[in-house]
A and B are shown apart, each in its own frame.
Chain A
């Protein structure tokens, strides 16, 4: 961190918030709000005179609240920049100045209460998101006594207690009486791997953190007894198993089983831990002086900035996996890339990881950003959206639905046509599917190409076929997976590949039914796997709309099926196809003929005509998109 602070080509903007980021790969414009720094970091020599006279005492967040700090303080010994920081929320010297003692004693005159926030407008080529994670709150796990007993602490609190720079200067003491604990216990997976009460995933680092802490205790207090309660120890990684072995050799007792209760003996003050040892099958009772909870790591909640504007994940259109961490563009091939080009991830914002992994990922992200900037140009997707200006009604639905913000209103005042940024377009086709006027052409996946495939499929024996739209990344790959796994499924299915299920225009579905399709399937990625951020949500909205319309027209909605199948779910793909084949048998010739007759009159597969701006506003409200009406 010190190196980064001193580097001539790195500018650290501490105490700052990103208000907005616009633009596209290689051409981002970031608006950064730099919070007022009342201490001039360039002048401050960290002498500490200001801290000595400050009358305000508040809990020290860095020390996990185990010690206190003043309203003007050095955040932590290695802080960069190494200058004092004035906590404006707790300082008494504001509006009007009621205290001002720190200012009086500062020889360098580097404290100024009149400083205000500044807004910086930065042009950047790429963005790296490294907003980290936070520890899980263990208070719901009251059986471990965290809220009831002083000597039950979290791993983070323990880390401060045993650190030389901590509140006890490295002396491990229990909080109830400041005595060195002779018997220390650790409970693993507190909150982790607990879908009902905590989080379902493994937090990755807790096992090794506990092993490290047992070794620290063993080194400093050789006579201590240590017990670790665990489900299983996950010590994968270079040298990790060796550390685990050393910990056991130091006499640390590893007990497989999570405690059912922790109570305090009122006579002795000891913590009494009840646990079923699943290796011996016996119920055991352990008496301890201190208990450490290895809590889970959870995604940092992206907070909205001070003015109630958008949070950073909204600004950058970051999507999240089901566990709440941000989702990478591809788990194997683009593990540090966000789906939005030019945006990268580093550290625990992507998943819980240790220092080594974080450093590796940060290096990779920096390299990716460096490659992008060094190249000076970007290669854009061949499959992008193109506007047909003559057909556009300026309804702005396309801009509202684009997951990548690749479509912007060219000029809000004059209501000119939307501007398509090809470099930002990822080619999902949601805009083309949502455009009611067919004013957007999706290169390589044009309407005519897809309808021709539908016509081809249904040209012969339509009653024996199911028209299935499958997204390139998940469902189509799921079909591949089923094939390579040699899973059997009926031959009725006919796949039409689109890059994203968001490309499946409702007119394609109507066209298939018009042409005599007994059944249609729309299939895409699970929401948490969508390669186009949230394009898949538009698929669901659209299919729900078609179901409603089918019902109104007297067509059974069951004939249109929706399914989310990932690339790894070959078995699900085969099972769904078997189930649809069963359903296909329930559709009669008469039913299909009736459908063709109904739809022949309605002409739902044809685009709407451009009727002028007023009509466009109505269309926009139908689609549920929030758009403002174009000017008259």
Chain B
């Protein structure tokens, strides 16, 4: 089942929603900068990012 999840770009830090099915591995890219270094935003990732800030 695919649901909308938030991904963020490790190049430009842009956050964006993507239909995500954990069972399917799909090619993803940042809609802003086109980078493929995009990551599913998890609570741990948000916490770590805030600590970094």
Interface residues of A (CB under 8 A from B): 526-528, 537, 540-541, 544, 547-548, 551-552, 554, 556-558, 560-564, 572, 576, 579, 583
Contacts and interface: CB of A to CB of B under 8 A. Distances in A.
Contacts of B35: 561, 563, 576, 579
Interface string B36-53: 110110001100100010
Contacts of B33: 579
Given A551-B45, A583-B11, A557 B39 contact: yes
B3 interface: no
Contacts, number: 44
A557 B36 CA distance: 13
Given A551-B48, A561-B11, A583-B11, A544 B39 contact: yes
For the complex of A and B, 4 pairs with smallest distance between CB atoms? A527-B27, A537-B25, A561-B37, A562-B37
Contacts of A563: 35-37
Nearest to B45: A551
Nearest to A552: B44
Contacts of A562: 36-37
A552 B37 CA distance: 18
A548 B39 CA distance: 9
Contacts of A557: 10, 39
Contact of B39 (A537, A547, A572, A579): A547
10 contacts: A527-B26, A537-B25, A548-B44, A554-B48, A556-B52, A557-B39, A561-B11, A564-B27, A579-B11, A579-B35
Interface residues of B, number: 17
B5 to A, nearest CB: 13
Contacts of A564: 27, 29, 36
A557 B39 CA distance: 10
A541 B23 CA distance: 11
Contacts of B29: 564
A561 B27 CA distance: 14
B11 A551 contact: no
Interface in B7-44: 10-11, 25-27, 29, 33-37, 39-40, 44
Contacts of B44: 548, 551-552
Contacts of A537: 25
A346 B10 CA distance: 42
A528 B25 CA distance: 12
A540 B25 contact: yes
Given A541-B25, A560-B10, 20 more contacts: A526-B27, A527-B26, A544-B40, A547-B10, A548-B44, A551-B45, A551-B48, A558-B10, A561-B10, A561-B37, A562-B36, A562-B37, A563-B35, A563-B36, A563-B37, A576-B35, A579-B11, A579-B33, A579-B35, A583-B11
A85 to B, nearest CB: 39
A340 B45 CA distance: 39
A572 B11 CA distance: 14
Contacts of B34: 572
Nearest to B28: A540
B9 to A, nearest CB: 10
A246 B31 CA distance: 47
A526 B27 CA distance: 7
Contacts of B26: 527
Contacts of A526: 27
Residue of A544, A558, A572 most packed against chain B (CB within 10 A): A558
Contacts of B36: 562-564
Contacts of A558: 10-11, 37
A133 B26 CA distance: 24
Contacts of B48: 551, 554
Contacts of A544: 39-40
Contacts of B52: 556
Give the most central of B33, B37, B45, B48: most A CB within 10 Å: B37
